[in-house]
Structure 1
Amino acid sequence: MRKFAAAVGMLALAGSAFAQQLVQSSLQSSTQPSLQSSTRASTQPALQPALQARQVNSADVASVDAIVAALYDTISGPAGRARDWSRLRALFRPDGRMIVHGLAKEGGNEGSYQTRVMAVDDYIERVAPLFAREGFFETELARQVEQFGAIAHVFSTYESRHAPGDKPVQRGINSIQLVNDGQRWWIQSLVWQAESAQHPLPQRYLQGR
């Protein structure tokens, strides 16, 4: 999501108490989700009708630039302002996933990395209470794009704030995998990791679009 700062974000996203709460709420789980079970829906024959049923603003999905901009826009806003979750859902394939990878901060696993795999609705459920209490604005600093035919990968550097003009509370990378079905672009998966003392952002990911 910046994101989903993310929010934890988009379902984004670490120096402030808010940023830590955002990442931790996404990571807490008694067991690590199975990637196999999380992606099982991609094999179901009912997927194509589900794709057709999703209502979307055509301008949001007309290009890689447009869908990335829409992703950041949907998760950003002041405290208490309802996000357009229908718009966010429409950016993702029904089997799309939002995945946070970050340092555990409690539970005896401090210092180790954990992965939380979420459907879009899982992300919404987790961040909605945070967004009700705190403003969250995630913006893109830089971008690296690779594209071949109908697939694309965007390495998008983000920073998150409580309000426009505030000092950033977090930076990191959104790794966005995209597919085009001949009609539009879809987000297949979004994986993000926040910057940390162990992993500061390299200069090459702080420049260029």
Structure 2
Amino acid sequence: MKKEYLKRVQSVDTLIKSFYDCLGGEPGEPRDWDFFRFLFHPQANKIGYEKDINGNIRPQFISPNEYVERTGYWLDSKRETAFYEREIGRVQEIYGNMAHVLSVCEAFPSKEDMANNKPYKQDVKSIQLAYYRDRWWIINMFWHGVSPEFPIPEHYLGSN
């Protein structure tokens, strides 16, 4: 475990910011997948609401390791455009050693599009976290794409 990793999981805020930062990069630029895995508890899930082959929206479960295996190669070497995400709003609650964050984010195919505020998609992420062993961990991350049918609730665009 790298010491600089620990600094980035000492608060809910630094962990969430670190999550968004670690996925971003230019085409062919390797991501720090060891750090990505470090953010998640070993039994964590990433759960995305996506359309199945029949067009029905349903949850798709994947572990962080499976995400790296499936998406990591694509982000590191196959993607022809950059990929960046940023948080634009957050609703956060902490009780004892557990936290829940509703995080609204935007994704961009380039730094220029990010600078010009031209996202190609938005998501709302429900992130459950736990504090133990002197750090915060992502326990589960559940997300749903923003659409006309599912717009962003105004109060989700609070502090970030």
Q: Same fold (TM over 0.5)?
A: yes
Residue 70 of structure 2 aligns with an amino acid whose one-letter code is R
Which one has the bigger strand percentage?
2
RMSD: 1.5
Aligned match of 2:32: 84
TM-score with structure 2 setting the length = 0.88
Identity %: 32
Residue 112 of structure 2 aligns with an amino acid whose one-letter code is G
Aligned match of 1:137: 84
Separation in 1 of the partners of 2:63 and 2:123? 21
Quote how far apart the aligned CAs of 1:99 are. Answer: 1.0
Count of residue correspondences: 152
Secondary structure of residue in 2 paired with 1:68: helix
Quote how far apart the aligned CAs of 1:95 are. Answer: 0.5
Aligned match of 1:95: 43
1:59 aligned to 2:3?
Answer: no
Residue 69 of structure 2 aligns with an amino acid whose one-letter code is E
Separation in 2 of the partners of 1:197 and 1:65? 29
Q: Is the 8 A contact 1:152 1:178 kept in 2?
A: yes
Secondary structure of residue in 1 paired with 2:110: coil
Separation in 2 of the partners of 1:77 and 1:147? 31
Aligned match of 2:139: 188
Aligned match of 2:70: 126
Matching of residues 33-72 of structure 1 within 5 Å? 55=2, 57-72=5-20
1:174 aligned to 2:125?
Answer: yes
After superposition, the C-alpha distances for 1:8-46 in whole angstroms (9 at most, x for unaligned) are xxxxxxxxxxxxxxxxxxxxxxxxxxxxxxxxxxxxxxx
Q: Which runs of 5+ in 2 are unaligned?
A: none
Residue 66 of structure 2 aligns with an amino acid whose one-letter code is D
Residue 72 of structure 2 aligns with an amino acid whose one-letter code is A
Separation in 1 of the partners of 2:27 and 2:156? 29
Quote how far apart the aligned CAs of 1:128 are. Answer: 2.2
Secondary structure of residue in 2 paired with 1:99: strand
Secondary structure of residue in 2 paired with 1:192: strand
Q: Is the 8 A contact 1:55 1:90 kept in 2?
A: no
Separation in 2 of the partners of 1:61 and 1:145? 16
Quote how far apart the aligned CAs of 1:152 are. Answer: 0.1
Following superposition, which runs of at least 4 residues in structure 1 exceed 4 angstroms of deviation?
A: none
Quote how far apart the aligned CAs of 1:171 are. Answer: 0.5
Separation in 1 of the partners of 2:27 and 2:14? 25
Q: 2:108 aligns with which of 161, 174, 181?
A: 161
Residue 176 of structure 1 aligns with an amino acid whose one-letter code is I
Q: Which runs of 5+ in 1 are unaligned?
A: 1-53
TM-score with structure 1 setting the length = 0.69
Separation in 1 of the partners of 2:129 and 2:67? 19
